[in-house]
């Protein structure tokens, strides 16, 4: 029986190769809501702030708004806002770290750790007018704790320099939502400390203090500093709590922005845009530092 002739290489060389049909990839639709959200609530507002910072009330180009950022009152507002943010970030970060350490590594009862996690999730989002009212009812001049200390122990907080409507009073109020946020952020990093590292250090004769000094803290330091940077940004952008508590008595950048944009007396939207642009720059620097520290922490925990 005659065999079927096979095509020669010369014939195959000239024949076009059949390409498989490409199927549409719809996986990117899963991130479409995030991209749309980022476009309308991040990029476009940032672009609007940038453009508005260089425009006057008539829409003409000007550098007066940027120059206005260097006036003494505005520099003072940035200074006070940064100092409050730094103070609450450091104190809230340390306090939250020790709370998370006790709940994660000390071995507290399960109901205590679960209760702490629940409280941290609620308290970290408790801000604004309700938080201001809660502190006025607790530590105000006629607050529960103030009256209790005065009537029972004869100790008047306000006669000894404390004032809820001052720098320190606002800082104490901020700490209420700062340290629970720190607990939520630093707990995964504490859980990432491997038991083998502790056992290896103890086998080599290291004490508990030496383990934390040479192993634990160096590994956790990027996460610890990164979490404090997030706390700094959280306090730096706070507005409703400070305005509700102090009524604008403290010269914060966020309150000053509100006065410039919607105020009746101080009404200069261009300067308000420039103030917000300055906050964006500060936050961008903070997030860049946090990103670098987070990458270092992830490299340690992958080892």
Q: Which parts of 110-212 fold into alpha helices (H)? A: 110-123, 129-139, 144-152, 167-191, 195-203, 208-211
Taking alpha carbons only, the member of 151, 128, 168 closest to residue 250 is: 168
Structure-block tokens of residue 209? 């203090």
Distance CA(74)–CA(86), nearest Å, equals 18
Decide: residue 131, CB within 10 A, 0-12 exposed, 13-18 middle, 19+ buried. Answer: buried
What is the assigned CATH class of domain 62-302? mainly alpha
Per-residue pLDDT of the chain (303 residues; tens, 9 = 90+): 555 555 555 544 555 555 665 676 777 788 888 889 989 988 898 898 889 899 888 888 889 999 989 999 899 999 999 999 999 999 999 999 999 998 888 777 888 888 888 899 889 888 888 999 999 999 998 899 999 999 999 898 898 888 999 999 999 999 999 999 999 999 988 888 888 888 888 888 888 889 988 888 888 888 898 899 989 999 998 998 999 898 878 889 999 888 888 765 667 888 889 999 999 888 888 888 878 877 776 666 565
Distance CA(235)–CA(224), nearest Å, equals 17
Give Cα separations from 234 to 76, 182, 213, 244, 290 (angstroms): 20, 11, 29, 17, 13
């Amino acid at each position: 029986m005659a065999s079927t002739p096979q095509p020669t290489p010369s014939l195959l060389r000239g024949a076009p190769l059949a390409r498989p049909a490409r199927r549409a990839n719809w996986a990117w639709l899963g991130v479409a809501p995030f991209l749309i959200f980022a476009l309308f609530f991040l990029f476009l507002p940032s672009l609007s702030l940038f453009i508005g910072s260089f425009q006057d009330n008539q829409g003409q180009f000007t550098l007066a708004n940027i120059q206005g950022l260097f006036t003494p009152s505005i520099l003072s507002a940035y200074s006070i806002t940064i100092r409050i943010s730094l103070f609450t970030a450091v104190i809230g970060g340390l306090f939250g770290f020790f709370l998370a350490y006790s709940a994660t590594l000390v071995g507290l009862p399960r109901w205590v750790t679960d209760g702490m996690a629940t409280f941290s999730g609620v308290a970290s989002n408790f801000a604004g007018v309700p938080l201001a009212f809660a502190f006025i009812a607790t530590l105000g001049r006629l607050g529960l704790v103030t009256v209790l200390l005065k009537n029972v122990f004869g100790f008047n907080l306000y006669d000894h320099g404390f004032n809820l409507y001052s720098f320190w009073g606002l800082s104490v109020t901020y700490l209420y939502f700062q340290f629970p946020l720190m607990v939520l952020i630093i707990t995964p990093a504490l859980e990432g400390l491997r038991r083998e590292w502790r056992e290896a250090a103890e086998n080599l004769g290291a004490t508990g203090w030496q383990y934390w000094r040479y192993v634990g803290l160096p590994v956790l330091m990027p996460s610890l500093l990164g979490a404090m940077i997030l706390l700094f940004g959280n306090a730096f952008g706070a507005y409703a709590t400070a305005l509700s508590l102090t009524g604008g008595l403290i010269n914060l950048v966020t309150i000053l922005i509100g006065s410039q944009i919607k105020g009746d007396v101080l009404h200069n939207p261009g300067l308000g845009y420039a103030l917000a642009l300055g906050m964006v720059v500060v936050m961008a620097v903070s997030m860049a530092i946090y990103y670098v520290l987070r990458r270092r922490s992830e490299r340690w925990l992958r080892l």
